[in-house]
Structure 1
């Protein structure tokens, strides 16, 4: 007589510094998360408790201290290969009715919770991990760039980033200027300000792998009172750039259970058409064709129209959304990957996107989901 195995262990997966392992114990699906950092483990449990009052989150079964770190056991929600995440809805060839329904539920939940919990909050009392800590002395900006200088794009544009301020940038036939040193200095100063920011109870890192389908929220070490513009910038930038292009390119192992992601990288990777330097006029020409798959474009547009704009109209009716989002977007561009570690074309594209974000003409409504068009003729 064949009985059900007492313990069935699934494949071990690594996400950033954490390890995830699914297993079945007496037929009960469990997801075990291992983290080495005791502060992160504590914040994970506390963050989940905060969210559970307003959002759907898996049940917490146990938190155990083990040699070298902590194990946190959660209810494992249904999922599988190319199934169970928002990511999988975005990996479809075209937007589906299921995606539209999901996005309506996602934006409605976020809008209701944000508007009911929003409050001007001192920076010392917001979740600081993704923005303030990275801009602080000794944080990620310093670790990546404090004593570094590197070419804009080796072999294409060999101008060091430290000299970008001496050049005029023509990006897709539009004139821009980027002072690398001043941008870093501005970011550090911005996130050192003591003025309160509008914050609300959110997950803090709303990516297509942290949002389950059916709708639920994963990953809670940044959950709590988060900057509202930071939450928006995170989702919009991840959906339009990181999730479909950079993360699967540079962290492929994270998508082992969602291999359809790799079939769509080309559809989400901008195409560099021109990269030239004219030293006689101190001009850099960069032409690229933006690319974003239709499902990701739908997710960005829905987020903008059904979440960002309604919240902004209630909380900041007279504010310039571009100015509110700019510092958070710049931190996402610079503070996720070290640009010097990226392939030259990817680095070039991110520097171009940074220049566009820092421009006085920055328009977030078109920046995150630009209309694809033929690149201007050189």
Structure 2
């Protein structure tokens, strides 16, 4: 007879401020989540209840207060090393049939729920954590940037970001302009307005580590009525930049169970080819090669064609998607990592990407899957 332990504990994993631990209790697979912030725990519990009526989510078996925070006990879905997440389908050299089928299922589920629950909603009634709160006084924009200055790229472009507006940016052959202070003011003002936004019931933070394979949704503290353009910008930016490049670079512990992620970071890391200043013409030259791996391009393209475009055609016929997505994309670029803390090459690329997003020529249909070629005309 083989003895089965009553309790088996797996390794503790850290995700931002939360701790996760797989547990087998009497042969039952569970996932314990320890959350320090009581308000975040309450939002997680409420968000799970909201989402469970429309999306597949693991069962929440129990939640209780413990010293220093809250402990939530979830059903643990099948998974393992490099298994169980959308991330694992993206960690490949080429897109698979499983990835294509997954994106079909994901976008179909979102189309149905978004079109069923979409409604113009006052900003006070949408989930505010990722956008409105970060732009509000005392939020991340203030914490990261208020009253502070830093160089565009130490030793490469020794110009403070506060003076960017006095230079022309020539990025991959295209002329751009980025006024740092004005951009921050514009973002704060945009998310301070009371104008209703189109919102729908979503998980709110649709990253490739929050989406299970087979399809299910994890992490619920941002679940509820979320801005639809914000939902789109979040997935598109994470799939094309954060998930394959910046997140594993700056938060490697989150990928301990998915080590194949690190093998594919080079395929998703932009390469700077030129970074210099011509002071005689007040021009900063930045040439970089964008890189998005083939599986991530496939996921982004499917998401755009099968979800973003059909929803936009229904909710915003004839409107410019660039204007709808720009503030949310800009906030994702500026409000996840403090640019001043990043390695100079990464900071330089993100400033270039911000300038491209703020440009009147911003085209989101190609921005998230950029061609590795130069702009042909300013």
State the TM bucket, normalised to the shorter chain. over 0.9
Deviations 1:94-143 (A, max 9, x none): 00000000000000000110000000000000000000000000000000
Aligned to 1:268: 268
Aligned to 1:326: 326
Aligned to 1:108: 108
Point out where structure 2 has 5 or more consecutive residues left out of the alignment. Answer: none
CA displacement at 1:373 relative to structure 2: 3.1
The within-5 A match list for 1:1-378 is 1-373=1-373
SS class of match (1:83): coil
Deviations 1:136-168 (A, max 9, x none): 000000000002100001111110000000000
| Matches of 1:335 and 1:374, distance apart in 2 | 28
SS class of match (1:275): strand
| Matches of 1:333 and 1:210, distance apart in 2 | 19
| Matches of 1:270 and 1:115, distance apart in 2 | 36
| Matches of 2:297 and 2:18, distance apart in 1 | 30
CA displacement at 1:268 relative to structure 2: 0.2
Task: Say whether the 8 Å CA contact 2:267–2:293 is kept in structure 1.
Answer: yes
- The TM-score with structure 1 as length reference comes to 0.99
- The TM-score with structure 2 as length reference comes to 0.99
CA displacement at 1:375 relative to structure 2: 9.0
SS class of match (2:287): strand
| Matches of 2:286 and 2:247, distance apart in 1 | 23
Flag the 1:280–1:374 CA change in 2: closer, same or farther, 3 A.
closer
CA displacement at 1:298 relative to structure 2: 0.3
Point out where structure 1 has 5 or more consecutive residues left out of the alignment. Answer: none
CA displacement at 1:2 relative to structure 2: 3.7
Task: Say whether the 8 Å CA contact 1:120–1:196 is kept in structure 2.
Answer: yes
SS class of match (2:301): helix
| Matches of 2:369 and 2:148, distance apart in 1 | 31
Task: Say whether the 8 Å CA contact 2:126–2:227 is kept in structure 1.
Answer: yes
Task: Say whether the 8 Å CA contact 1:287–1:375 is kept in structure 2.
Answer: no
SS class of match (1:319): coil
SS class of match (2:274): strand
Task: Say whether the 8 Å CA contact 1:58–1:75 is kept in structure 2.
Answer: yes
| Matches of 1:358 and 1:275, distance apart in 2 | 20
| Matches of 1:305 and 1:19, distance apart in 2 | 36
Task: Say whether the 8 Å CA contact 2:173–2:374 is kept in structure 1.
Answer: no
SS class of match (2:144): helix
SS class of match (2:265): helix
SS class of match (1:158): strand
How many residues align? The count is: 376
Deviations 1:63-120 (A, max 9, x none): 0100100000000000000000000000011000000000000000001100000000
| Matches of 1:302 and 1:158, distance apart in 2 | 40
| Matches of 2:161 and 2:344, distance apart in 1 | 13
| Matches of 1:258 and 1:147, distance apart in 2 | 39
CA displacement at 1:374 relative to structure 2: 6.9
Task: Say whether the 8 Å CA contact 2:14–2:254 is kept in structure 1.
Answer: yes
CA displacement at 1:244 relative to structure 2: 0.1
**Structure 1 stretches of 4+ moved >6 Å:** none
